[in-house]
Amino acid sequence: MKLAVVLFNLGGPDSPEAVVPFLTNLFSDPLVISAPGFIRIPLAKFIATRRGPVAREIYAKIGGRSPIVPETEVQAKALEAALCEHDTRVFIAMRHWKPFSDEAAKKVAAFAPDHIIALPLYPQFSTTTSQSSLLEWKRAAKAAGITAPISEVCCYPDEPGFISGLADRVRKTLALAKPEISYRLLLSAHGLPKKVVKSGDPYQWQVEQTAAALIGELGKVDYTICYQSRVGPLEWIGPSTDAEIRRAGAEGKGVIVVPVAFVSEHSETLVELDIEYAKLAAESGVADYLRVPTVSADPAFIGGLAGLVRDALAGTKPKKRCGAEWCRCGFPAA
C-alpha cells in the first residue's frame, strides 16, 4: 500500500523578511480572528505591521528564522521509518507559512497514494489550530484533485507515547535539579482567549488531560498548569506562566517549565521560555530555573504517532476526548 501522511503545524517565518507576511497570514485566519473579512483582513495587516519589529527582534535571537520546519522534517523522517510496513511518505503542511497545504497537496497528488492520513502536530484540539489546519488541507486537497480516501486524526492529549516521551524528558531534567531546592513544575501551554474556550473549544480541557496523564506517569510532584504567549487586549485563560514564575519566586521555589502543548522547538520555547522567562525568574527570586525540551522526534512520541496512523488506517473509532460541554471538538461528543 502507498500511504501518505500529512503532518500539520502552525509554521513560522523562514527569514526576517517573512515575519510580517507570516503574521498577516496568522491574523487573517477566520478561526483566529472571527470578524468579517472586510474587517479582519485590514486588521490583520495592521497588527502584523505593528508587531513586525518586535517579532523580528524575537526571531533575531534564534538566527532570524523559526526552526519549526527543520524540526518537523526530522519528525517526518522518523515517522516514515516507523511506518515501514507500507510504502509511506510523510509530507509537511504548515498553516501560516511555507510549506503551505497547497504545496503539500501537489506533492501528495504526485505520489498518488492509496490512502492519506491527516495528522496534526497539535496534541490538544483547538479550532484555532487543528481545525484551521484540517479545513485548509481539505481545500488544498480538493484543488489538487486528490481522490484517495483521507482519514483524520483529531487529537491525542493523553496518547501513551506522547506522555511517555514527555515524562522521560521531565525525568532527565529533574536529574539536573539541585537537592537543596524545592521545585515546582510549571506545565505551560500556549494560551487562548477566554471567549474561544467559552464557545466550546476543548483546548483547555484537553491540556488538563495531558497534565493529568503526565502527573500520573511522574507520581506525586508539586505542579501547576499555566498558559503563555498572551497577545492583544482580550481576557485570556490562566493562570499565566509569567505570574506563576513570580509566585514561585515569592515562595522561594525553583521552577521546571514543561511545554505540554508544543511538540517542536520554536520561538515560544527558545525565546519566550529560555530567554524571557529565564530572565523573569532571575528577577523574581526563583531559586533555580530549568526547562524541559519538547518531545520533538523522541522515539516514544514517534511510536505514538505511528500508532495513531495505524488506527486511522484501520478505521478504528477514535476515543472521545471531549464531553458535551466541549462541542467544537473534531469528533462528536460522547
56-85, pLDDT tens digit by residue? 999 999 999 999 999 999 999 999 999 999
Taking residues 175-182, report their average pLDDT: 97
Instruction: Decide if pLDDT at 328 tops 90.
Output: no
Domains in the chain: boundaries: 160-291
What is the share, in percent, of the chain residues with pLDDT greater than 70? 95
Q: Is a pLDDT exceeding 80 seen at residue 150?
A: yes
Q: Sorting pLDDT into bands at 50, 70 and 90, what band is 327?
A: low
Residue 326: pLDDT band (50, 70, 90) is low
Please determine, for residue 280, whether its predicted confidence score (pLDDT) is greater than 90: yes
Q: Is the pLDDT of residue 131 over 90?
A: yes
Residues 269, 319: Cα–Cα separation, whole Å = 30
How confident is the model at residue 333, as a pLDDT?
44
In this structure, which long-range contacts are made by residues 98-102, counting pairs with CB atoms below 8 Å and at least 24 apart in sequence?
98/11, 98/14, 98/69, 99/69, 100/140, 101/133, 101/136, 101/137, 101/139, 101/140, 101/141, 102/140, 102/143, 102/144
Other CB atoms within 10 A of residue 85 CB:
10
> What was the pLDDT predicted at 319?
62
Residue 234: which pLDDT band, with cuts at 50, 70 and 90? confident
Q: Is 314 left (phi over 0), alpha (psi -120 to 50) or beta?
A: alpha
334 has pLDDT over 50: no
Average pLDDT of span 114-121: 98
Q: Does domain 160-291 have CATH number 3.40.190.10?
A: no
User: How far is the CA of 279 from the CAs of 93, 236, 247, 275, in angstroms?
Assistant: 34, 23, 15, 6
- Does residue 317 carry a pLDDT above 70? no
**Residue 96 annotated as binding site:** no
In percent, the amount of the chain with pLDDT more than 90 equals: 92
190 is in an annotated binding site: yes
* Model pLDDT for residues 179-228, shown as the tens digit of each residue: 999 999 999 999 999 999 999 999 999 999 999 999 999 999 999 999 99
